[in-house]
């Protein structure tokens, strides 16, 4: 008995470890190594080892891209949170048997390639798109609004693609929230807003942080969104990396950006674990700062 | 003693979930300053009544008046009523201090008044040193006391307790019963307690209402309910009771009856009005049953039974005695220090009697 369970565990963990080593650890190691090599037109990369690529990322131009993509991703995150929280609350307030149906509908768009869905947004926002045609038809505007190829379009695209990643962790946090705590707060004189602020928000903070990270982290790298919706000016960090690898063929420089992105995301994940441990172990936010 | 003042009036409360009638035209008056208990088996509607008083449950019909004011439409957060929940429902993300301070902060009590009042409430439940702990760092009994402090700190007109001791182990529960009673006397707040534990209800309450299937079965002091149960349900729910079948042979007037029980004719007292030929239940508490050796002289008539079981309970010796009719009677006797031979062997024939007048005679129910 014990040996068969032990064997299963051995193979399961063993396979996962081999998989992760081969396809996650080594590639990342290669990226890190590449970032310290020198660009070579013939062999793609060559020695000597140096940190030139990192020095070059400090260029104002790239810092601007970093700042822009961070800002757009943060805006997308905030927007997803503002839309996703009430939405998740609405799902939780439904009868239990309807909740999985709605969650399924939230996940459903994943079955269509996100590239295709991004093209669809292009058709909606374009100068000949639905919105402009409708507004022109109604006589509200004289010439088409520039909706496509703006920061707004990029943020909208990010929100559209990433909203489910916000809704799902929020839903799971809200669903676990003990309704009896709400009754207790009500009994102690807390109105709807106070209950939301003092009970719901602090107790779902792990879900809020998780959702925010699930939106923020991928948003920084979603180059095809800004390619299709942002034009040449509204770049995400992912666009820079893509360009270095596919067009400029400067692998060390692209790798250096990748490493920076990974470190950035790793730092945010670390913050998340700090936050969730804080909440679960100590019970989280202190109520004394009412 | 002056007339008790009605604090809470429940008038014709009804509630139906689907096809399940949880409360059926329920009326109740609770007096100011009393320890009142709603007692009944699970599903009898007692918790629903409590939640209606708290404002956490809507009424289908009927009205709720507090101090003469209709509070039916007042939301829970605006009622001067607080609850100690069965699950305690302490806020896990707040310290003990913040839990207790929550109600005060919500009602806008001045900041400098909050700390002393919280400290006082925690002191009252002997948790003064635990203010900075989180609920998860406390034992069940301590959490229970925080829940009580969190409710009483608001000085409510009415404190509701929903099976508040049921999660505690026996010893702790006994201790908390005494503490609750002491606290209630000290604060002078009206307590409405919900429980399915009849022992708890009897030992703590000034008055008890026994409920079943959404209806009042009996309302009275613990003593009235134990000694004068209004019906078979109450008699059986409150403590152990022996049930013998009888038939009224003759009415002697003034609630005195000749009743045939187990083949013998007895002169019994009953609060109900019966006529000759009525079937009745004669109920006897185990501690009211007397068991004697059959060889001893007996001036009065007695039933003969056979000892089929003996349970040593420490304080008492409980004997299960089978009558010739097949009915089994439990007799619970205190040890008599002067009688070293006080014990029965299995299958021994014994004489059974009871103190006349301690029986309860009710109309026959199945």
Please name every residue paired with B267 in a beta bridge, in sequence order, or none if there are none.
Answer: B258
Please, which pLDDT band fits residue B81 given cuts at 50, 70 and 90? very high
Predicted confidence (pLDDT) per residue in B34-68, tens digit: 999 999 998 899 999 999 999 999 999 999 999 99
Structure tokens given for B149? 């402090």
Lowest mean pLDDT among B20-24, B93-97, B295-299: B295-299
Higher pLDDT, A264 or B100: B100
Residue A287 has its nearest CB partner, among B85, B95, B150, at: B95
Please name every residue paired with B69 in a beta bridge, in sequence order, or none if there are none.
Answer: B66
Q: Across residues B175-193, what is the average pLDDT?
A: 90
Please, which pLDDT band fits residue B205 given cuts at 50, 70 and 90? very high
Its sign, for the CA torsion B136, B140, B142, B147, is: positive
Higher pLDDT, B339 or B173: B173
Lowest mean pLDDT among B73-82, B236-245, B247-256: B247-256
Residue A80 confidence (pLDDT) above 50:
yes
Nearest CA in chain B to A289: B98
Which residues lie below 8 Å from residue A237, measured CB to CB, with a gap of 6+?
A: A65, A66, A69, A220, A221, A257, A260, A261
Are the C-beta atoms of A237 and A69 separated by less than 8 Å?
A: yes
B250 CB within 8 Å of a chain A CB: no
Tell me if A288 and B82 make a contact (CB, 8 A cut-off): no
| DSSP label of B4 | P
**Set of chain B residues whose Cβ sits within 8 Å of the Cβ of A288:** 95, 97-98
Interface with A, mutate which of B71, B91, B110, B163 (most A CBs under 10 A): B91
Report the pLDDT value the prediction gives residue A285, as an integer from 0 to 100.
43
Please, which pLDDT band fits residue B2 given cuts at 50, 70 and 90? low
Residue A1 confidence (pLDDT) above 70:
no
In the predicted model, what is the mean pLDDT of chain A?
87
Report the pLDDT value the prediction gives residue A276, as an integer from 0 to 100.
66
Report the pLDDT value the prediction gives residue B282, as an integer from 0 to 100.
92
Identify the contact set of chain A against chain B, taking CB-CB distances under 8 A.
178, 180-181, 183-191, 194, 198-199, 202-203, 279, 282-288, 290
B94 Cα to chain A: minimum distance (Å): 5
Report the pLDDT value the prediction gives residue A289, as an integer from 0 to 100.
37
Question: ∠ CA B128-B177-B34 to the nearest 5 degrees?
Answer: 100
Measured CA to CA, the distance from residue B51 to residue A154 in angstroms comes to 51
Lowest mean pLDDT among A145-149, B37-41, B130-134: A145-149
**Length of chain A, in residues:** 290
Please name every residue paired with A145 in a beta bridge, in sequence order, or none if there are none.
Answer: none
Q: Across residues A1-25, what is the average pLDDT?
A: 86
B150 CB within 8 Å of a chain A CB: yes
Neighbours of A186 (CB within 10 A): 24
Residue A202 has its nearest CB partner, among B76, B93, B97, at: B93
Tell me if B56 and A203 make a contact (CB, 8 A cut-off): no
Measured CA to CA, the distance from residue B8 to residue B36 in angstroms comes to 11
Radius of gyration of chain A (CA): 23
Residue A108 confidence (pLDDT) above 70:
yes
Higher pLDDT, A118 or A5: A118
Look up the ipTM and state it: 0.82
Nearest CA in chain B to A184: B89
Measured CA to CA, the distance from residue B163 to residue B43 in angstroms comes to 13
Report the pLDDT value the prediction gives residue A287, as an integer from 0 to 100.
39
Pairing of strands B158-162, B81-84: parallel
Are the C-beta atoms of B363 and B281 separated by less than 8 Å?
A: yes
- Ranges of H-type helices in chain B: 46-54, 96-106, 111-124, 140-152, 170-187, 198-204, 222-227, 232-237
Sheet containing B158-162, strands listed edge to edge, beginning at the edge strand earlier in sequence: B81-84, B158-162, B190-195, B35-39, B207-212, B215-220
Tell me if B107 and A189 make a contact (CB, 8 A cut-off): yes
Range with top average pLDDT, B205-219, B290-304, B338-352: B205-219
A130 Cα to chain B: minimum distance (Å): 47
Residue A290 confidence (pLDDT) above 50:
no
The CA distances from residue B185 to A12, A188, B146, in Å, are 64, 22, 19
Report the pLDDT value the prediction gives residue A52, as an integer from 0 to 100.
84
Structure tokens given for B105? 């902060």
B106 CB within 8 Å of a chain A CB: yes
Rounded (10°) angle between helices A60-93 and A99-107: 160
Are the C-beta atoms of B336 and B290 separated by less than 8 Å?
A: no
Note which residues in 117-146 of chain B have CB less than 8 A from chain A: 134-136
Rounded (10°) angle between helices A205-221 and A251-282: 180
Note which residues in 46-75 of chain B have CB less than 8 A from chain A: 54-56, 75
Interface with B, mutate which of A177, A181, A183, A188 (most B CBs under 10 A): A188
Q: Across residues B87-95, what is the average pLDDT?
A: 93
Nearest CA in chain B to A280: B93
Nearest CA in chain B to A287: B94
From the list A22, A94, A5, A32, the residue with the least C-alpha distance to A256 is: A32
Are the C-beta atoms of B96 and A283 separated by less than 8 Å?
A: no
DSSP labels, chain A? -HHHHHHHHHHHHHHHHHHHIIIIIHHHHHHHHHHTSEEETTTEEEPPP--HHHHHHTSHHHHHHHHHHHHHHHHHHHHHHHHHHHHHHHHHHS-TTTHHHHHHHHHGGGGS-HHHHHHHHHHHHSTTSHHHHHHHHTTS-SS----TTSHHHHHHHHHHHHHHHHHHHHHHHHHHS-HHHHHHHHHTT--HHHHIIIIIHHHTHHHHHHHHHHHHHHHHH-HHHIIIIITTTS--HHHHHHHHHHTS--HHHHHHHHHHHHHHHHHHHHHHHHHHHHHHHH-SS-TT--
Report the pLDDT value the prediction gives residue A284, as an integer from 0 to 100.
41
From the list B353, B303, B344, B356, the residue with the least C-alpha distance to B325 is: B303
From the list B62, B143, B101, the residue with the least C-alpha distance to A189 is: B101
The CA distances from residue B148 to B87, B126, B199, B275, B310, in Å, are 12, 11, 21, 52, 42
Predicted confidence (pLDDT) per residue in A214-262, tens digit: 898 889 888 888 888 887 778 888 888 998 888 888 889 999 999 998 8
Give the rounded percent of residues in chain A with a pLDDT score beyond 90: 41
The CA distances from residue B199 to A6, B39, B238, in Å, are 52, 10, 8
Kindly report the backbone phi and psi dihedral angles of residue B353, in degrees, each rounded to the nearest multiple of 5, phi listed first.
-150, 180
Helix or strand (DSSP H, E) at B12: strand B6-17
In the predicted model, what is the mean pLDDT of chain B?
89
Tell me if A187 and B76 make a contact (CB, 8 A cut-off): yes
Higher pLDDT, A6 or A85: A85
**Set of chain B residues whose Cβ sits within 8 Å of the Cβ of A283:** 92-95, 134-136
pTM over 0.90: no
B103 CB within 8 Å of a chain A CB: yes
Structure tokens given for B119? 């400290």
Measured CA to CA, the distance from residue A195 to residue B77 in angstroms comes to 10
Are the C-beta atoms of B284 and B296 separated by less than 8 Å?
A: no
**Set of chain A residues whose Cβ sits within 8 Å of the Cβ of B107:** 189
Query: What secondary structure, in 3-state letters, does B26-57 show?
Result: EEEEEECCCEEEEECCCCCCHHHHHHHHHCCC
Interface with B, mutate which of A173, A186, A187, A201 (most B CBs under 10 A): A187
Interface with A, mutate which of B92, B100, B159 (most A CBs under 10 A): B92
Measured CA to CA, the distance from residue A257 to residue A244 in angstroms comes to 9
Measured CA to CA, the distance from residue A141 to residue A135 in angstroms comes to 6
Residue A288 confidence (pLDDT) above 60:
no
Are the C-beta atoms of A228 and A119 separated by less than 8 Å?
A: yes
B107 CB within 8 Å of a chain A CB: yes
Tell me if B97 and A288 make a contact (CB, 8 A cut-off): yes
Residue A146 confidence (pLDDT) above 90:
no
B61 Cα to chain A: minimum distance (Å): 22
B103 Cα to chain A: minimum distance (Å): 5
Radius of gyration of chain B (CA): 25
Structure tokens given for A231? 């034009």
Q: Across residues B117-125, what is the average pLDDT?
A: 93
Report the pLDDT value the prediction gives residue A278, as an integer from 0 to 100.
62
From the list B85, B81, B76, the residue with the least C-alpha distance to B30 is: B81
Report the pLDDT value the prediction gives residue A223, as an integer from 0 to 100.
86
**Set of chain B residues whose Cβ sits within 8 Å of the Cβ of A284:** 93
Nearest CA in chain B to A278: B93
Measured CA to CA, the distance from residue B46 to residue B43 in angstroms comes to 8
Q: Across residues B1-17, what is the average pLDDT?
A: 86
Measured CA to CA, the distance from residue A102 to residue B194 in angstroms comes to 39
Measured CA to CA, the distance from residue B232 to residue B238 in angstroms comes to 10
Measured CA to CA, the distance from residue A34 to residue A31 in angstroms comes to 5
Residue A16 confidence (pLDDT) above 50:
yes
Which residues lie below 8 Å from residue B358, measured CB to CB, with a gap of 6+?
A: B284, B285, B288
Report the pLDDT value the prediction gives residue B342, as an integer from 0 to 100.
62
Give the rounded percent of residues in chain B with a pLDDT score beyond 90: 54
Residue B139 confidence (pLDDT) above 60:
yes
Lowest mean pLDDT among B91-105, B209-223, B338-352: B338-352
Tell me if A198 and B102 make a contact (CB, 8 A cut-off): yes
**Set of chain B residues whose Cβ sits within 8 Å of the Cβ of A198:** 91, 102
A211 Cα to chain B: minimum distance (Å): 20
Rounded (10°) angle between helices B111-124 and B140-152: 140
Report the pLDDT value the prediction gives residue B18, as an integer from 0 to 100.
86
């Amino acid at each position: 008995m014990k040996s068969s369970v032990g064997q299963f565990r051995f193979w399961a963990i063993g396979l996962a470890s081999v998989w992760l080593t081969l396809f996650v650890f080594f590639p990342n190691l290669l990226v890190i190594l590449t970032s310290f090599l020198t660009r070579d037109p013939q062999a793609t990369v060559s020695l000597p080892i140096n940190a030139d690529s990192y020095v070059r990322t400090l260029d104002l131009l790239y810092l601007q891209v970093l700042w822009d993509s961070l800002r757009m991703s943060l805006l997308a995150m905030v927007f997803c949170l503002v839309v996703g929280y009430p939405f998740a609350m609405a799902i939780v307030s439904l009868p239990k048997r309807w909740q999985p149906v709605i969650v399924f509908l939230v996940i459903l768009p994943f079955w269509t390639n996100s590239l295709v869905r991004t093209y669809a947004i292009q058709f909606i926002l374009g100068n000949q798109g639905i919105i402009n045609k409708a507004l022109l038809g109604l006589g509200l505007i004289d010439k088409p609004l520039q909706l496509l190829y703006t920061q707004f379009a990029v943020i909208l695209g990010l929100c559209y693609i990433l909203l489910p990643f916000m809704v799902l962790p929020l839903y799971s946090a809200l669903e676990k929230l003990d309704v009896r705590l709400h009754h207790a707060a009500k009994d102690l004189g807390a109105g709807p807003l106070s209950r939301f602020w003092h009970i719901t928000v602090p107790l779902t903070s792990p879900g809020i942080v998780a959702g925010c990270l699930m939106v923020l982290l991928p948003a920084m790298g979603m180059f095809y969104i800004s390619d299709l919706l942002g034009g040449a000016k509204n770049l995400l960090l992912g666009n820079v990396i893509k360009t270095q690898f596919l067009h400029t063929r400067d692998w060390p420089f692209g790798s250096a950006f990748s490493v920076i992105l990974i470190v950035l995301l790793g730092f945010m994940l670390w913050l998340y674990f700090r936050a969730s441990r804080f909440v679960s172990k100590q019970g989280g936010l202190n109520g004394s700062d009412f | 003693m002056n007339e008790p003042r009605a604090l809470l009036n429940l008038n014709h409360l009804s509630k139906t979930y689907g096809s399940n009638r949880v409360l059926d035209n329920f009326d109740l008056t609770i007096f100011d300053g009393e320890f009142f208990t709603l007692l009944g088996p699970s599903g009898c509607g007692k918790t629903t009544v409590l939640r209606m008083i708290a404002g956490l449950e809507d009424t289908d019909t009927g009205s709720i008046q507090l101090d003469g004011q209709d509070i039916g439409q007042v939301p829970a957060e605006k009622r001067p009523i607080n609850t100690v929940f069965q699950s305690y429902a302490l806020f896990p993300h707040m310290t003990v201090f913040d839990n207790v301070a929550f109600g005060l902060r919500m009602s806008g009590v001045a900041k400098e008044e909050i700390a002393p009042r919280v400290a006082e409430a925690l002191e009252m439940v002997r948790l003064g040193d635990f203010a900075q702990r989180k609920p998860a760092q406390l034992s069940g009994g301590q959490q229970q006391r925080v829940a009580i402090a969190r409710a009483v700190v608001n000085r409510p007109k009415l404190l509701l307790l929903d099976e508040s001791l049921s999660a505690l182990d026996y010893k702790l529960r006994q201790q908390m019963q005494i503490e609750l009673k002491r606290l209630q006397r000290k604060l002078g707040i009206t307590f409405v307690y919900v429980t399915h534990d009849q022992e708890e209800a009897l030992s703590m309450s000034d008055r008890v209402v026994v409920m079943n299937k959404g209806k009042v079965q009996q309302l009275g002091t613990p003593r009235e309910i134990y000694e004068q149960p209004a019906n078979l349900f109450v008699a059986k729910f409150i403590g152990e009771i022996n049930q013998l079948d009888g038939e009224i042979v003759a009415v002697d007037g003034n609630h005195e009856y000749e009743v045939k029980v187990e083949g013998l004719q007895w002169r019994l007292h009953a609060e109900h009005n019966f006529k000759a030929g009525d079937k009745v239940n004669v109920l006897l508490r185990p501690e009211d049953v007397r068991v004697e050796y059959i060889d001893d002289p007996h001036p009065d008539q007695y039933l003969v039974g056979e000892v089929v079981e003996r349970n040593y309970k420490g304080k008492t010796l409980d004997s299960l005695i089978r009558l010739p009719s097949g009915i089994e009677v439990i007799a619970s006797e205190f040890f008599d220090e002067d009688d070293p031979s006080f014990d029965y062997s299995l299958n021994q024939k014994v004489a059974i009697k009871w103190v006349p007048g301690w029986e309860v005679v009710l109309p026959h129910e199945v």
